[in-house]
Amino acid sequence: MKLIFFDEAKNDDDYAYYHIGGVGIDDEHLGIVEKQINKVVEEAFGHSRLVRGNELHAAEIYHRKKHFKGWADFSARIALMKKLMQILSMPQLSLIDIQVNAAKLRQNQAPDEVAFMFLCERANDLCKACGCLGILIGDRESDRVAERYAGSLSCYRAGGTDFALGREINNLVDSVHFTHSHLSRFCS
């Protein structure tokens, strides 16, 4: 079983692209990857407990936001981001990057929905290539978004994805599962 953790960038009208990123991990590698993440968190915060104050969001690290406000040393912030990049470069991980140019969409197409559809296609392709099933786990933003994405995946599994060259989604199972990023090392 491959778990695909994903998070999206907030929709920003001043930025032309909508982003969703995903990380695929086989279930047998979860412990190895989590151990590496916990090591980085413990080095940065003195403990690795799952609490809101030790999430590792790159934008917050770089721009000294939230619990990184006191991190005035730019080189320390870059070193922390480098450690995160080393984890993301582990051979046990498969990365998915979706960028949708909102200006190229038709009027009735929402960038977040199109990006999620592409994420489902790429995650399904990854699982199919590995000969396994997968499950999507996202950073919970709201009940409305969670319900919409769960409904979209259900439709894709039943009838394939949209567009003329849409694909069958046979390797993703169940629904989209969500958790708050401060409650999961893999979503933060």
Mean pLDDT value across residues 122-143: 94
Look-up of token digits 């403990």? 47
Separation between Cα atoms, residue 133 and residue 75, nearest integer Å = 41
Going from the C-alpha of 88 to that of each of 33, 37, 76, 81, 103, the distances in angstroms are 9, 10, 19, 10, 30
Mean pLDDT value across residues 72-84: 95
Structural contact between residues 56 and 79, judged by C-beta atoms closer than 8 angstroms: no
Q: Is the pLDDT of residue 143 over 90?
A: no
pLDDT above 70 covers a percentage of the chain that reads 98
- The amino acid present at 30, given as its one-letter code, is L
Nearest one of 36, 44, 37, 41 to 71, comparing CA atoms: 44
* Domains defined for the chain, CATH in brackets: 2-183 (3.30.420)
Separation between Cα atoms, residue 136 and residue 150, nearest integer Å = 10
Separation between Cα atoms, residue 44 and residue 67, nearest integer Å = 11
The secondary structure of residue 10, as a DSSP letter, is P
Nearest one of 60, 34, 64 to 48, comparing CA atoms: 34
**138 DSSP β-pair partners:** 6, 178
Mean pLDDT value across residues 132-149: 90
pLDDT tens digit sequence for 38-57: 999 999 999 988 888 888 88
pLDDT at 183: 67
Separation between Cα atoms, residue 57 and residue 54, nearest integer Å = 9
Mean residue pLDDT of the chain comes to 91
Task: Indicate the pLDDT class of residue 188, thresholds 50, 70 and 90.
Answer: low
Structural contact between residues 90 and 31, judged by C-beta atoms closer than 8 angstroms: no
Mean pLDDT value across residues 58-63: 90
pLDDT tens digit sequence for 97-112: 999 998 899 888 889 9
pLDDT tens digit sequence for 9-39: 877 777 889 999 999 999 999 999 999 999 9
